[in-house]
Chain A
Amino acid sequence: MSIKQKMKNKDYDSNPLDNPQLKKHPFQVEAGYFNGLSERIMNAIDAEESDLKFNLHLKKSPFTVPDGYFDNLSSKIEAKLREEQKEVKFYQRPLSRWLAVAASLVLLITFYFNQSDQAASTDLLSSVSDETIISFLESENGLSDELLLNLGEIDSVLDAIYADETSIFVNIMDSNPELEYDFEYFDY
């Protein structure tokens, strides 16, 4: 070692981190690593964007409402409700009620005298489709709100679609409660 070098090393002895050799790290990357890096980062960003758990931006609704919509909604509902309450139902009208009773009596008498024609009447009714009867009842408010609420229509319709999709999962979960843990993974 030359005297010059020895002197230099002596300097590093007093301050070892000044040695430029130390600035060189021992790590290596495979050839071409940096060439594909930006593409891989972009792919990772895309993957994260489509990850519902991490991309909270997706939670924001894209839907908007007209300015002041919620300020006026309540009064619109109240106005509509008042309007509905004003409408006197058919059976509440005194004259209509009597007409209805009279019509019922006529029907009963007709029915009594035409029992032999019963088969023909049934045929007539069966020619009316269920859809038409439902539409008629709906338009005449024949189905009470209470009844509509309890129809459970939503369940029957949805469950039909649903059964195919979920039956396997449900059966497995019912018989293996410990699998609950796996599903919790998807709990966002």
Chain B
Amino acid sequence: MEDKEILQAFRVSSNKDFAFKNLVAEYQERVYWHVRKILISHDDTDDVVQEVFIKVYKNLDTFREASQLFTWIYRIATNEALNYLKKRQRRHSVSIDDVYHELENTLTHGEQIDGDEIQMKLQKALVKLPEKQRLVFNMRYFDDLKYDEMSEITGTSVGALKASYHLAVKKVEESLSVD
């Protein structure tokens, strides 16, 4: 089902659930992997992904078709994932560095992770990046998103995103080349 058809069907109350089912089927994997790369843990990601789609359901009526549906969903997913990290930081009254340290710990000891040495080295380099650089790197390198799509998602200019990606790549390559 195309995005346009999903949106049209969602506006008719008798088709709402059917349209939503299709929307979830279409976007669940992309949303999951986007959030997973931010939160690292599968269980945390599972919670957040469910929240993301519940928010999508509640707010789809307000979606203005000025942007693409997937960038709008990505934006909600990004907000939810980053808010989840912040809430955790607030709840445990720890610094943001502690949260990143926890992410690194999950990478080393967490479940549902099966990468070889170089892939793990890359992930460890990524959790050390500032949040936005990590986000930009993930969207560009792993998800192959275009800069204008990333600009819609993050509300940041294309120039700033390019600069951010450039910095992230430099730092990551440096980390990878160190033994």
Q: Mark A74-94, 1 if CB is under 8 A from B, else 0.
A: 101110110010000000000
B119 touches A145 (CB 8 A): no
A161 touches B131 (CB 8 A): yes
Instruction: Quote the shortest CB–CB distance from A53 to chain B (angstroms).
Output: 9
Residues of B within 8 A of A155 (CB): 154-156
Q: Is B15 an interface residue (CB 8 A)?
A: no
Query: Which chain B residue has the least Cβ–Cβ distance from A185?
Result: B166
Cα-based distance from A161 to B86 in the complex (angstroms): 14
Q: Is A153 an interface residue (CB 8 A)?
A: yes
Q: Mark A118-136, 1 if CB is under 8 A from B, else 0.
A: 0000000000000100010
Instruction: Quote the shortest CB–CB distance from A83 to chain B (angstroms).
Output: 10
Q: How many A-B residue pairs have CB under 8 A?
A: 160
Residues of B within 8 A of A62 (CB): 113-116, 119-120, 123
Query: Which chain A residue has the least Cβ–Cβ distance from B28?
Result: A73
5 other A-B residue contacts (CB within 8 Å) besides A64-B114, A166-B167, A170-B159: A62-B113, A63-B40, A69-B46, A162-B164, A188-B169
List 22 A-B residue pairs with CB atoms under 8 Å apart, sorted by A's residue number: A50-B177, A55-B118, A58-B119, A60-B115, A62-B114, A63-B42, A73-B49, A77-B24, A80-B54, A81-B54, A84-B54, A146-B59, A149-B55, A152-B155, A161-B130, A162-B160, A165-B130, A165-B133, A166-B163, A170-B159, A186-B162, A186-B165
